[in-house]
Amino acid sequence: MSWWTTDETHDPARTSWVEGTDTHPDFPIQNLPLGLFAPAGQEARIGIAIGAMILDLRACVAAGLLEADIHRPCQSDSVNSLLGLASGHRRALRRRISALLSDPAYRDLVSPLLHRASDCTLHVPARIGDYTDFYVGIHHANNVGKQFRPDNPLLPNYKYVPIGYHGRASSICASGVPLRRPSGQSRTPDRDTPSFGPTARLDYELELGVWIGAGNALGAPIPIREAGDHIAGFCLLNDWSARDFQAWEYQPLGPFLAKNFHSTISPWIVTAEAMAPFRIAQPARPEGDPAPLPHLLDTADQNHGALALTLEAHLLTARMREEGLAAIRLSHGPATSMYWTVQQIVAHHASNGCNLNPGDLLGTGTISAPTRDGFGSLMELSVGGREPITLPNGETRSFVEDGDEIILRARAHADGFVAIGLGECRAMVMPAH
Residue 239 or 244: the one with the smaller Cβ distance to Mn ion is 239
Closer residue to Mn ion in complex, CB, 56/133 = 133
Write down the least CB distance from residue 201 to Mn ion, Å. Answer: 15
Q: Among residues 63 and 161, whose Cβ is nearest to Mn ion?
A: 161
Whether the CA torsion 152, 155, 158, 162 is positive or negative: it is: negative
Rounded CA-CA distance 425/236 in Å is 6
Minimum separation from the CB atom of position 207 to Mn ion (A): 6
Stretch that binds Mn ion, among 81-89, 126-134, 344-352, 378-386 (CB under 5 A): 126-134
d(C-alpha 170, C-alpha 133), whole Å: 14
From the list 10, 115, 139, 140, the catalytic residue is: 140
Of 133, 203, 298, 312, the one binding Mn ion (CB under 5 A) is 133
Give dist(CA 59, CA 333) in Å, integer: 39
Least separation in angstroms between residue 344's CB and Mn ion is 17
Closest by CA to 231, choosing from 358, 94, 144, 78, is 358
Backbone torsion region of residue 357, taken as left when φ is above 0, otherwise alpha when ψ lies between -120 and 50, otherwise beta: beta
Using CB under 5 A as the binding rule, whether residue 56 contacts Mn ion is answered as no
* 3-state SS class at 364: coil
Residue of 162, 366, 163, 356 whose CA lies nearest to 263? 366
Q: Give start and end residues of each alpha helix (H) in 185-242.
A: none
Stretch that binds Mn ion, among 66-74, 154-162, 205-213, 387-395 (CB under 5 A): 205-213
| SS3 (DSSP) at 129 | coil
Among 140-148, 231-239, 335-343, 346-354, which window interacts with Mn ion (CB under 5 A)?
231-239
**3-state secondary structure (DSSP) of residue 212:** strand
- Which one of the spans 24-32, 132-140, 289-297, 382-390 is the region binding Mn ion (CB under 5 A)? 132-140
Distance CA(243)–CA(77), nearest Å, equals 36
Q: Is residue 239 within the footprint of Mn ion (CB under 5 A)?
A: yes
CB closer to Mn ion out of 205 and 360: 205
User: How far is 136 from 305, CA to CA, in rounded Å?
Assistant: 14
CB of 137 to Mn ion, least distance (A): 9
The yes-or-no answer on residue 140 being catalytic is yes
Residue 205 is a binding residue for Mn ion (CB under 5 A): yes
Output 194 or 254, the one with its CB closest to Mn ion.
Answer: 254
The residues facing 244 across adjacent strands are none
Residue 49 CB, shortest distance to Mn ion, in Å, is 26
Residue closest to Mn ion, measured at CB: 239
Report phi then psi at 99, rounded to 5.
Answer: -65, -45
Catalytic residue set: 140
Contact residues for Mn ion (CB under 5 A)?
133, 205, 239
